Amino acid sequence: MLFESTGIADLLQWANRFLTDSGGDIAYQVTIATTQSHHVVHGYSGLKLLANTRLIDLDPTIKRHTIMVTGRGGIEQERSIIADWLSLAAPNAIRTASICGGALLLAQAGLLEHRKATTHWRLINLLAEQYPNVSVERGPMFVQDGPVWTSAGVTAGFDLTLAMIEQDCGYHLARDVAQEMVMFLRCPGGQAQFSRYRLPETPELGPIRDLQIWIQEHLNHDLSIERLADRVSMSPRNFARVFSKQTGITPAKYIEEIRLNAARDKLEQSMDRLERIAQDTGLGNSLNLRRVFERHLQVTPKAYRERFAIRQPSAENLS
């Protein structure tokens, strides 16, 4: 995605512009490097970006202020080249950062050992599984642990960049850049990644799979361990053990996640009152609905609806 690199470059150049307009010197000189044998970067969009240089032409022993890795790389050979270069270059830089899947390259280079880090929500589990010594943060848009910064999805890299500008040049400059780009300087309410939890289904046909289907159709029923165990003719203790073994998740967590996902769907696709949504999804009342949203997403149901609800047609379009 080309706007990872170009968006970050624009933010840094706006910082330079504000500095020079006030009589100061520029703070950033941006170089975009590609792993290709040529300088042309082919974007997913079909557009092309002309990079300043190639990675193989950059001396990793030169002192640099900041190294930023955008993306994960296409093939394993490419990833190994980047990771090897990073392992040599990072000790000579003041800070190193990744955008989206780039965190996996930082981890491959050994830069995330015993550090906190995050990445795009689709890659969170992969990062945790492949690099158990990394303390994976599943919620934040970006994480700073000493000289190493990691961010979630593509636009989270813009939040990370604004935070770097604030660290380098102060609050007022970062605020001015954010306002120029019509961005929040800091995401409201400690915004988390709005990932969809992929609810695991048991790979085995049988009572647990049937129960999962039944649960999805009866979210406003009593879904206590005792009631669920009774439906599959098991003791509560044995049911909890079998369910967790077959799905990799406890019944309680499965229930809360599936109710949360259902509530998100209703907030996105309907104008039902919060109390009604809470009742329909088995969360009881609007207060409990709010608690679940704030615990999992760090945002209220009302704010979530404002961001993700289906756009209602205007009166002009209806006439």
Domain that holds residue 282: 207-308
- From the CB of residue 292, how many other CB atoms can be counted at a distance below 10 Å? 20
pLDDT (0 to 100) of residue 25 = 95
Determine contact, residues 73/46, Cβ cutoff 8 Å: no
319 residues of the chain, pLDDT tens digit each: 899 999 999 999 999 999 999 999 999 999 999 999 999 999 989 999 999 999 999 999 999 999 999 988 888 999 999 999 999 999 999 999 999 999 999 999 999 999 999 999 889 989 999 999 999 998 788 999 999 999 998 889 999 999 999 999 998 999 899 889 888 776 654 456 665 555 666 666 789 989 998 998 899 999 999 999 999 999 999 999 999 999 888 999 999 999 999 999 899 889 999 999 999 999 999 999 999 999 888 889 998 898 878 765 544 444 4
Query: Residue 202 and residue 220: Cα distance in Å, rounded?
Result: 22
Same domain for 173 and 51: yes
Same domain for 222 and 285: yes
Same domain for 123 and 73: yes
Token readout for 97 is 């950062």
Same domain for 226 and 186: no
* Structural domain includes residue 94: yes
Same domain for 32 and 149: yes
Three-state DSSP at 33 gives strand
The helix, strand and coil proportions of the chain, stated in percent and rounded to the nearest 5, come to 50, 10, 40
pLDDT (0 to 100) of residue 117 = 96
pLDDT (0 to 100) of residue 154 = 82
* Structural domain includes residue 200: no
* Structural domain includes residue 132: yes
CA distances from 20 to 26, 27, 30, 143, 258 (A): 6, 9, 16, 30, 52
CA distances from 101 to 1, 4, 156, 248, 263 (A): 11, 11, 12, 25, 29
pLDDT (0 to 100) of residue 17 = 96
CATH number of the domain bearing residue 64: 3.40.50.880
* Structural domain includes residue 143: yes
Same domain for 104 and 16: yes
Number of structural domains, the chain? Answer: 2
Determine contact, residues 77/55, Cβ cutoff 8 Å: no
Same domain for 215 and 184: no
Neighbouring-strand partners of residue 19: none
CA distances from 137 to 151, 169, 178, 231 (A): 10, 27, 25, 37
Same domain for 165 and 86: yes
* Structural domain includes residue 86: yes
pLDDT (0 to 100) of residue 151 = 94
Same domain for 186 and 214: no
The reported pTM is 0.70
Query: Residue 151 and residue 223: Cα distance in Å, rounded?
Result: 37
